[in-house]
Structure 1
Amino acid sequence: MPLSPLDIHNKEFSRAFRGYDEDEVDDFLERIIQDYEALIRQNKELEERIAQLEEKLRHFTNIEESLSKSIIVAQETAEEVKANARKEAQLILKEAEKNADRIVSEALNKSRKIAQEVEEIQRHAAVFRARFRSLIQAQLEMLDSGDWDRFEQETGRDLVIPDVVRAES
């Protein structure tokens, strides 16, 4: 067990012949007591300071752990957000592709339908032209045949086309 300043103060030395000067020894012991008390106070202050620093260290260690956990959670959350964004982008892309395919398909169908209508109109036009040509040729043949001249000579007037013939043409 270490000595206390009180132990040093209460220490009695035996007296011997030709011993040390008592006043010098007492003064020296007094200085030792003062230094020893100062060292004890300093040691106690240092221990308190160590306790405070250890408490701060624990506090900062807790903060560091909390920050580390927060960073990990933030990283995981960021990864989740990225993954969800990728999935959503893929879904949007697939939906856009479906819509594009549908639009292209509808456009092709309309194009085919219009092409068929054009072909139908062209066929009708060709039939009409053929009928019209044949009507005109028949009329020209009638004009060239001489029936007109004979009719005009017999009746003395120009041939009038009846309404029935006009309706057929």
Structure 2
Amino acid sequence: MITPLEIQNKEFKKGIRGYKEDEVDEFLDQVMIDYEKLYKENIELKEKIETAHHQMAKYKDIEETLKNTLIVAQNAAEDLRANSHKKSELIIEEAEMKGKEIIARAHREVEEIRNEFEDTKKQMQSFKTRFKTLLQSQLDSFVKEYDELSEDNEDSQTA
């Protein structure tokens, strides 16, 4: 691309029937001024475009980072949900096991109480039988004593 300085330093050869040098110089000065403005404007626009590209690249990096962060957050949320679900299942499982254990212990205690009741019932039956036997033997002994006393008393009254 031609620069404004090259336009300013350009010299034309003179010919026999050439243009008026002052008009050509004046026109070239005007072209050089306009071209210099356009050249500077072009450089500024290129710099702005470059800056915009850099900003766009930064925004794309930020966007990518946000996407990755969002993905990580979603994965973390899914992991947390899965872990919470597993933990709740373990808690439920543990509670069910403890419940079964408590029920089994209660059944054992009921069985022990039943056995104790049966033993006590047997002991009571045995005690009743022995006591009945003791009472019967005491009654028999009193009846025998009474009969003997009555016989002795009848014998002493007949005599």
* Paired amino acid for 2:149: L
- For 1:82 and 1:114, the matched residues in 2 are separated by 47
Percent identity of equivalent pairs? 12
* Other-structure match for 2:100: 94
Deviation sequence 1:86-129 (CA, Å, 0-9, x none) = 22221221122111111101110110110111111011111111
Higher share of residues assigned helix: 2
* Other-structure match for 1:115: 121
What count of residue pairs does the alignment treat as equivalent? 145
Asked whether 1:48 is paired with 2:59, we answer: no
Give the RMSD, CA atoms, in angstroms: 2.9
Asked whether 1:29 is paired with 2:35, we answer: yes
TM-score (norm 2): 0.75
User: What aligned pairs does 1:12-27 form with structure 2 within 5 A after superposition?
Assistant: 21-27=27-33
- For 2:2 and 2:149, the matched residues in 1 are separated by 161
- For 1:8 and 1:89, the matched residues in 2 are separated by 87
Preserved contact between residue 8 and residue 33 of structure 1 (Cα < 8 Å): yes
> Which structure would you say has the larger RCO, counting Cα contacts within 8 Å and 6 or more residues apart?
2
- For 2:154 and 2:78, the matched residues in 1 are separated by 109
C-alpha displacement of 1:37: 1.4
C-alpha displacement of 1:132: 0.5
* Structure 2 stretches lacking a partner, 5+ long: 11-18
- For 2:81 and 2:49, the matched residues in 1 are separated by 46
Moved more, 101-110 or 131-140: 131-140
TM-score (norm 1): 0.71
* Candidates 143, 150, 155, aligned match of 1:144: 150
* Structure 1 stretches lacking a partner, 5+ long: 1-5, 155-169
